[in-house]
Amino acid sequence: MKTIYLITMWSGGRPAKKWKSEVKPEPLPQGTGVSFVSVGTRLPVSVIGSISVEEFESGKEELEMGSAPALQEESRIPTTANSKTNNIEPLF
């Protein structure tokens, strides 16, 4: 699991734009915003104004969908030569 930061720019009390970053956003020298690298575009972004930064743990979606490496090992269907349904093969 890794940490993901959700940066939200606010306008009129409503969220206007959201970004995700894998690196903690750095405060700007003026103290009026933050600078970070966007996960979606891999480009540096500087946001000035009314913003919020939330910290989340990534990996919950992987666990729920069963795509985590540890779950893939457990979810394999054992195949035996004597089984009546020998047309079933494991997908992973």
Q: pLDDT in tens for each of the 92 residues of the chain?
A: 788 999 999 999 999 999 999 999 999 998 899 999 999 999 999 999 999 999 988 775 555 555 555 444 444 444 455 545 566 666 66
Structural domain boundaries, residue 52? 3-74
CATH number at residue 36: 2.30.30
Two tokens, residue 83: 């089984």
The structure's pTM equals 0.61
- Please check whether residue 19 lies inside any domain of the structure: yes
Report the residue count for the chain: 92
55 strand-pairing partners:
5
Residue 64 main-chain phi, psi, to 5 deg: -70, -35
Give the DSSP letter of residue 54.
E
- pLDDT of amino acid 91: 66
- pLDDT of amino acid 57: 86
Asked if 71 and 43 count as a contact pair (C-beta separation under 8 A), the reply is no
- Please check whether residue 82 lies inside any domain of the structure: no
